[in-house]
Amino acid sequence: MYESKNNLSASSLTKLVTMNLGLPWFELAGEMWKIGRKVMRGLSNEGMYEVLNYESTLELHDRGGKRATFSKRKKVRYLQDHIIAYQDSAWGDGEILVNYRCTPGKPVDRYRCGHKTHILISLREVKNKGDIDEFNIRWGIHKGFLLQTGFWATGITNRTKRIKVQIIFPKSRPPLRLSLVEGNRQRTRSFNRNAKKRLPDGRWLVSWEKQKPKLYEQYILNWEW
């Protein structure tokens, strides 16, 4: 009798739910599972912040590729509360992160993980969801571009609305060939002549930008000079 009453109650509850939603119980369970997966996937991809705008410039100062400077401006909106630090990262040939500078915040630690070096920046204040920061970061590179071919990669590790990548070549050594590789998709496209522009002082500027770049993609700008 007790088991029958329990079965009756469970049956009534199932009927009530399915009547309200217009779905059989097994379809309801399937839909709830799909919704749960979407929510968890969304949370896992959200991260601490989203990038509203990202612009970077690599400048090669001499025809031998011995001296270069990298600078970037990254405007972010925080997606969580109580954020007190920001992590930057870098990689490349030669000596990197020479005279590393950033605003806002202060670099307090760095460590190597695989081919990347990560820099921990203390924000010196607490950031909450919805707050916006614009990071301006700059460092030098010694003997990083000594070969006849070179490349510069930009990895998309957070949801990003726009990126712009620029490379400035010395007056006496312009790029001869240019291409862009999407690493994960294994797609390559060549640049046309309009992508290379001569600046008033004789240097050469190559510029590329994209709206809503794909998350976790690596955009690699290759050149021969």
The answer on pLDDT for 212 being more than 80 is: yes
**pLDDT tens sequence across 94-103:** 999 999 999 9
What's the angle, vertex CA 204, arms to CA 199 and CA 206, rounded to 5?
Answer: 110
Overall average pLDDT of the 59-70 stretch: 98
In this structure, the answer to whether residues 158 and 199 fall within a common structural domain is yes
In this predicted model, what pLDDT tens digit does every residue of 97-131 receive, in sequence order?
Answer: 999 999 999 999 999 999 999 999 999 999 999 99
Report the distance separating Cα 57 and Cα 188, nearest Å: 21
The pLDDT of residue 72 is above 60: yes
Q: Note the pLDDT of residue 149.
A: 97
3-class SS letters over 113-161: ECCEEEEEEEEEEEECCCCEEEEEEEEEEECCCCCCEEEEEEECCCCEC
User: What's the confidence (pLDDT) of residue 34?
Assistant: 52
The first and second tokens of residue 49, run together, are: 């912040």
- Same domain for 158 and 199: yes
Q: Domain limits at 62? A: 49-80+90-104+128-224
pLDDT recorded at residue 185: 87
CA–CA gap between residue 151 and residue 157 (Å, rounded): 19
Q: Whole-model pTM?
A: 0.78
pLDDT band at 84 (very low <50, low <70, confident <90, very high): very high
3-state secondary structure of 178: strand
Q: Are residues 61 and 34 in the same domain?
A: no
Number of domains in the chain: 2
149/184 same-domain check: yes
Q: Judge whether 38 lies within some domain.
A: yes
Range of lowest pLDDT (141-145, 184-188, 202-206, 218-222): 184-188
Tell me what the pLDDT averaged over the chain comes to.
86
pLDDT of 1 over the 70 cut? no
Q: Are residues 57 and 31 in the same domain?
A: no
CATH number (domain holding residue 193): 2.60.40
For residue 165, give the H/E element and its range: strand 162-169
Count Cα neighbours of 89 within 13 Å in the Cβ-side half-sphere.
Answer: 12
Tell me the mean pLDDT in the region 32-45.
47
The mean pLDDT of 55-65, rounded to a whole number, is 98
- 91 pLDDT above the threshold of 70: yes
Q: Are residues 99 and 34 in the same domain?
A: no
Structure confidence by residue, pLDDT tens digits, 4-38: 333 344 444 444 444 444 545 445 455 545 544 54
Looking at the domain assignment, is residue 117 inside a domain? no
